[in-house]
Structure 1
């Protein structure tokens, strides 16, 4: 009696030929499958990045070449202040067409000259910002007050920030007009100081708002005191 071996479940019959890896189960050539996905999007992104970097380099180089060393003020300066090296610094700027600035190599032309206007720290210096005072500007006014020794500091000079204070009335009778009361104050910038004449009166020109100038002009000269404030204190 002949016995026939039955293969166990999961085992291939003896003599069975396993299909080649390039054939599917039906014996038809299988479609090859790549284990590595295509990297075209990544390559495209990389190419764009290179282009952007190259363009940025060209832009930066061009903009740098267009910049010019220019003078700027290193700290606040006021009208009448005489410029020194400590007041200036050099910055590289790319000015728009029509803008006139002072090149850094022309610093000798502005040193020792008075400011014609007030500038804050970092402001670019223009030719018309130096020289004769450009006062008053719109909305401002210049008022002259006559003061005697004891009513102002001897070191008072053009460009100094001051506070004008109405003092109490002396032996003279109080005025009946609209003069401000004692203790009223105004902030101003000294526009000029005229030396005392034979009567020992020094004329100080003050730059302040138009409304304040009109009010200050009504105060009798003997009831004013001028107090200097720290430089850069503003108007």
Structure 2
């Protein structure tokens, strides 16, 4: 007679060791491997939700303000057609005119010249601000080919000294030779008469204006710069 030490309880215990609570075969190792994947998935969900909340908050921080729809010159009486509404996000302390304050600026003269696309500020309207403290106005005479025909008041430009004129005129004694340049903003453009000379009024800092005024006629060229790159 063969005896067996295996009892029903022990056999059931060994059998239950590889079954899960539902009676199906379980795999402890596989469960442990799934844990990092579950944590990674939860982290991705948190990041997505946080990103959506950040984007929504940033979008709500944008405010409608007034910007120039077209170039205007100093003294021009501002009209509704001169401005447009744009939504911008800006730091605290940036001076702008909210869209709902349009009635406070329309009908008032411009205190400075502004190019298209520039944000309107409260100081942009009212009494003329040119030349402002530390600034000066200087007029330069240029001929066709020395300035873009699209040049208009409010346009930021670089004023560049070119080579000496054919007549042999020398450049300034202060070293403003060919290649010297200054940043300025166009205030006005006017024809000087029948000799094809165009007089361009420029707003720039006082020191640069003094240097520019000493450059002999015919040795300057005006290069248009991106909007907002002037003063």
User: TM-score interval w.r.t. the shorter chain?
Assistant: 0.5 to 0.7
Q: Name the CA distance, whole Å, in 2 between partners of 1:156 and 1:122.
A: 16
How many residues end up aligned between the 2 structures? 155
Change (3 A) 1:200 1:206: same
- What runs of 5+ residues in structure 1 fail to find an aligned partner? 1-69, 92-100
Q: Name the CA distance, whole Å, in 2 between partners of 1:191 and 1:122.
A: 15
The answer to whether structure 1 residue 145 and structure 2 residue 143 are counterparts is no
Change (3 A) 1:209 1:232: same
- What runs of 5+ residues in structure 2 fail to find an aligned partner? 1-62, 90-96
- Measured after TM superposition, the shift of residue 146 of structure 1 is 0.7
Q: Name the CA distance, whole Å, in 2 between partners of 1:209 and 1:79.
A: 21
Structure with the largest fraction of helix: 2
Q: Name the CA distance, whole Å, in 2 between partners of 1:209 and 1:181.
A: 19
Between Structure 1 and Structure 2, whose CA radius of gyration is higher?
A: 1
**What secondary structure sits across from 2:184 in the alignment?**
strand
TM-score normalised by L of structure 1:
0.53
Q: Is the 2:108–2:125 contact (alpha carbons within 8 Å) kept by the matching residues of 1?
A: no
**What secondary structure sits across from 2:178 in the alignment?**
coil
Change (3 A) 1:89 1:74: farther
Residue equivalent to 2:73: 80
- Measured after TM superposition, the shift of residue 167 of structure 1 is 0.3
Q: Name the CA distance, whole Å, in 2 between partners of 1:218 and 1:140.
A: 17
Change (3 A) 1:197 1:149: same
User: Paired residue for 1:129, among 124, 130, 133?
Assistant: 124
Change (3 A) 1:111 1:161: farther
TM-score normalised by L of structure 2:
0.54
Residue equivalent to 1:221: 217
RMSD: 3.9
